[in-house]
């Protein structure tokens, strides 16, 4: 009896579904990154304390002028 008759050989049947899940996960993460606007990033930096109020207001004003 041939033990490798089911295609991929013994023990590799889990590889294809794992690769498919990895590709789906990657595509979902990539779309998530695209939805962040410059204003969203600026808001997050201000909320985390990365920039002060004056810098936030100045950059926010510049973003509104250029959009």
Mean pLDDT of 24-53: 83
Residue 17 lies in a domain: no
Residue 19 lies in a domain: no
Find all residues with CB under 8 Å of 39, minimum gap 6, and list them.
60, 63
Residue 54 lies in a domain: yes
Tokens 């509104």, located at residue = 64
Radius of gyration of the chain (CA): 24
Residue 59 lies in a domain: yes
pTM above 0.85, yes or no: no
Q: What per-residue confidence (pLDDT) applies to 62?
A: 92
The structural domain count of the chain equals: 1
Has residue 39 got a pLDDT over 80? yes
Domain that holds residue 46: 36-67
Q: How far apart are alpha carbons 7 and 3 in whole angstroms?
A: 10
């Amino acid at each position: 009896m041939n033990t490798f008759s089911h295609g991929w050989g013994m023990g590799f049947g889990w590889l294809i579904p794992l690769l498919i899940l990895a590709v789906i996960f990657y595509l979902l993460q990539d779309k998530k990154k695209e939805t962040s606007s410059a204003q969203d990033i600026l808001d997050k930096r201000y909320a985390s304390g990365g920039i002060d109020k004056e810098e936030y207001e100045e950059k926010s004003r510049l973003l509104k002028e250029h959009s």
